[in-house]
Amino acid sequence: MENIWRENLSQIEIKSLNAYYDKLHVLKDINLNVEKGEILSLIGPSGSGKSSLLKMLVGLLKPKSGNVILNNNQLNYNNNSDLRIIREQIAIVFQQYNLFQNMNVLKNVCIAPTKIQKRNKKQVEEQAINLLEKVGLKDKLKSYPDELSGGQQQRVAIARALCLNPEILLLDEVTSALDPELVQEVLDSVRLLASEGMTMLIVSHEMSFVKEVSSRVVFMDNGSIIEINDPKIIFENPKEKRTSDFVGKILKDK
């Protein structure tokens, strides 16, 4: 990992980045800075590259060209030691909860810190209990995933990610698989993390939530960033016509 000094440090800097799925160009000349403690929300139509950008950050999609700088260090996504550092500093929560069905809630949250990070089991369990309490699930420690609602399972997935002690949390459509009445409990957990200063990149179709919680909003379309702006501007007075068309349709459909 190459150390690069610069005067104004962002936690994440993405410069002229391009990425492909086979021959499909899914991220096109992406330039983006994320400051520490910032809540950056990515919006746009399906297939616009939002989830691909999150997957690229954690190394699930390798960039073809361009640079990613994490905490002042330029990353090489083909280097295993860099990938380990990335996954120590960035955690991702997906739309699907991916919990282990044969483990109770507490074990689901503890397994990666103890097995992968080789941390002390007792200390990890104490942290996991605190995190589960934070997301409103302290009474579910011994429950199994099939005994939980979708919203509860998603909150376990958030606690599991946080138990890795990441500096940055990526949330990829974490409410889109949930029944409408379960969405709010997950968003409440995200609001709590936002209030505590966790740096987050959020892909979401919950526009009122995006407007409320975001420091800035990124509108993407066809693999490109079209506009980055304050949420009030994005939703009330966007600068780009494509942003205006998308937001207008979304708000009209609500």
Split at pLDDT 50, 70, 90, the class of 7 is: very low
pLDDT tens digits for range 40-82: 999 999 999 999 999 999 999 999 999 999 999 999 999 999 9
92 bridge partner residues: 170
C-alpha span between 105 and 99 (Å, rounded): 9
> Distances from the Cα of 33 to the Cαs of 5, 48, 161, in angstroms?
15, 19, 23
104 neighbors 140 (Cβ within 8 angstroms): no
**Closest among 9, 14, 8, 76 to 224, alpha carbons compared:** 14
Q: How confident is the model at residue 9 (pLDDT cuts 50, 70, 90)?
A: low
Strands laid side by side in the 168-172 sheet: 90-93, 168-172, 199-203, 39-43, 216-221, 224-229
pTM greater than 0.95: no
Average pLDDT of the segment spanning 94-117 = 94
Q: Which pLDDT does position 5 carry in this prediction?
A: 41
Burial tier of 111 (Cβ tally within 10 Å: 0-12, 13-18, 19+): middle
| Residue 3: Cβ within 10 Å count | 8
pLDDT digits (tens, 9 = 90+) for 127-140: 999 999 999 999 99
Tokens of 149: 């609602």
Structure confidence at residue 73 (pLDDT):
92
N-to-C CA span, the chain: 46
Residue-wise pLDDT for 10-29, tens only, equals 899 999 999 999 999 999 99
Query: Does the pLDDT value for residue 254 go beyond 90?
Result: no
Dist. CA 17–CA 14, nearest whole Å: 7
Res 6: pLDDT: 42
Helix (H) or strand (E) holding 25: strand 24-34
Check pLDDT > 60 for residue 238. yes
Are the CB atoms for 101 and 145 separated by under 8 Å?
Answer: yes
**Which domains occur in the chain, in start order?**
2-253 (3.40.50.300)
Question: With contact defined as beta carbons under 8 Å apart, do 172 and 51 qualify?
Answer: yes
pLDDT band at 253 (very low <50, low <70, confident <90, very high): low
Average pLDDT, the chain: 93
Can you tell me the mean pLDDT for 239-248? 96
> Phi first, then psi: what are they for 172, rounded to 5°?
-105, 95
pLDDT (tens digit per residue) in 157-215: 999 999 999 999 999 999 988 888 889 999 999 999 999 999 999 999 999 999 999 99
